[in-house]
Structure 1
């Protein structure tokens, strides 16, 4: 493993639209790239900028059903809206638009390429911001996700005889990835997310631990609404880091959704960019070859700041707290306000924190009593 880093990107990431009223805005990719560039985080001989390729259609069949892919491909060729509710295509959540299939293949191809850069070319870290579509199932779109890029890339690595750990810090449970690896011990999946009791996708409870050979290799840490950075840090240090150390994977894949930030419009967690940086520093500190992918985030300002900070940590760069002046002008012209790259520290209200900590305590005790003995902890 060398000291080189791969940034997988394509200007085509922002070529499409889910619709003006849809919360998922693809412009976040271009905005993130611009912030990273202006911060000087791509100007290094150790950084390779890789054009994201379209994933091979054959690779998609390692997880997705052929009839689902055929329908997705056909619908994305049509200018007239189409729907297939068996595959969950064409509704408000998962709209179908011209070019969708190839756009989804592009994001998926970026993650597969990031994995190649780490496994084949020995990069220390590779980052594909246009990945992290963790809700896509084998034959069903879900949660703005059509192709599950993480599963496709991990399947390729497992096929090469590698053991993989997948850690997901998105506010939503990584249900599609868990589904794919629920019966195997070749992949350890860990998801930290807002509780599914009354929150999409209504899964990801502590007792979902895997089945058969996979028992103990699916790990879920649900947070109560209003959990803040202190809650996140407790969970991360007590569960994630010990399990990664014991499992000792060949490759680490992380989904870096930033919808856990307190100003995200779709979630109820109260974390800040401090949690993103904590996670990124911890992942780098494991020394495990690292494939990083994007994920959720429905405030474009949060997305670009969170991923820029993560990329700075991945590449060992130091950045200040202030946004570049040129970038501040760009976001003002887009109707957004902000001067700082990092969030100010924030704590949940005492009553909210107390309830969140009590809930977390129960989750941690369950995982430590049932899972830790399986790993010799």
Structure 2
């Protein structure tokens, strides 16, 4: 029996602009949607939600401070250049522009709607393309993130009595989500990411395991540069997968950033569609109600390929490894020469791969010592 799935996408996701020189391009959403359409994944697969209710301040105040929200609204109301670095607003990383709050609220509301569809409407999977703003803190924008949609959505699930796993496979550590639930044993946060020793946001080490009741419920696997497909799958298989099973959540929330890909301009991992697809298939096989959000990715075509693959897997549709001709014509007009959806499995150069493998083995050993006993005992 096919799963009941929902895709959340609005043309308004692309109505704003963080700046011509900013690495985050909102066109990524239209790219992904057009590729899904070209593969026939829109009209007859799952249900498309293009309109949904916007959440109110009460939901946002479950995580964000009133002072921060007030400043975000104030700066959003005008095109006048503004900045307040106390709140992380107005710098090169987190620019402010007219309509910013409305744009951030639209994406955040999409993730909350995805959670509602799974928790109340019987959907097995709901995927919000414009979610995944995992760096937003209680009172500060960070890492292109203004409102933390995953935190707000998880809070809505907790209010319904659900226990939640949050799995983040973006190249950057999900620091804002970890912050929100660091002392909460109802949420298990797992982040596989590039090491913060030299990489933004400089957090996400193995010793960050939670505090108080949440001790043992924050899990971090920092990956060295040049981590490749085999090592990424190893991190998932030996850490994330058994811990998800031990925690046995009511809902899993996943951040599916595509900036782990080896051709991403901002990151240093060497992941391809091979390990990305592998992880998604294993998540689907768990048959846990699933809320998915987009996340990072600074090559628009990588993002489109990744999320089309994800939506295909969620709906049990095998996609041709070659991009549809109509999509190739579209991207060719924009200067892209790509013709393939899928990459071959990639192995990094031996010397750097050995270093990455050694670091991963040490991380796994430490996690097995500090985290596994807590969750296995609780199970």
Shorter-chain TM-score: which interval? over 0.9
CA contact 2:7–2:46 (8 Å) conserved in 1: no
Structure 2 counterpart of 1:126? 126
Equivalent position of 1:135 in the other structure: 135
Please name the residue that 1:12 is paired with.
12
Q: In the alignment, is the contact (CA less than 8 A) between 1:9 and 1:49 conserved in 2?
A: yes
1:274, distance to aligned residue in structure 2 (A): 1.2
Partner of residue 250, structure 1:
250
1:85 CA displacement: 0.4
Q: Which one is further off, 327-336 or 253-262?
A: 327-336
Which residue in the other structure is 1:146 paired with? 146
Deviation at 1:375, TM superposition (A): 1.9
TM-aligned CA distance change 1:45 to 1:359, over 3 Å = closer
Which deviates more, 50-59 or 24-33? Answer: 50-59
User: In the TM superposition, what whole-angstrom CA distance separates every residue of 1:272-297 from its partner, at most 9, and x where no partner exists?
Assistant: 01122111111111110000000000
Deviations 1:165-214 (A, max 9, x none): 00000000000000000001010000000000010000000000000000
Divergent runs of 4+, >6 A: none
SS in 2 for 1:334: coil
Contact 1:52 1:107 in 2 (8 A): no
1:20-99 paired onto structure 2 within 5 Å:
20-44=20-44, 46-99=46-99
Shift of residue 265, structure 1, vs aligned partner: 0.3
Structure 1 gaps, min length 5: none
How far 1:52 sits from its partner (Å)?
A: 4.4
Counterpart of 1:282?
A: 282
Per the TM alignment, residue 376 of structure 1 is displaced from its structure 2 partner at its CA by: 2.1
1:218: which partner in 2? 218
State yes or no: 1:112 paired with 2:112.
yes
- Alignment-derived partner of residue 238 in structure 1: 238
Q: Contact 1:54/1:106 (CA < 8 Å) preserved in 2? A: yes
Instruction: Give the TM-score normalised by the residue count of structure 2.
Output: 0.98
Gaps of 5+ in 2: none
Q: Which residue of 1 aligns with 2:189?
A: 189
Task: Find the aligned partners of 1:222 and 1:264 in 2 and give their Cα distance.
Answer: 18
Distance in 1 (alpha carbons) for counterparts of 2:229 and 2:175: 23
Give the Cα–Cα distance (whole angstroms) in 2 for the partners of residues 337 and 2 of structure 1: 35
Paired position in structure 2 for 1:261:
261
Q: RMSD across aligned C-alpha pairs, in angstroms?
A: 1.2
After TM superposition, give the deviation of residue 50 of structure 1 in Å: 4.2
Shift of 1:54: 2.5
Aligned mates of 1:316, 1:108 — CA distance in 2: 27
Give the Cα separation in 2 of the matches to 1:184 and 1:26.
Answer: 33
Secondary structure of 2:190's partner? strand
TM-score normalised over the length of structure 1: 0.98
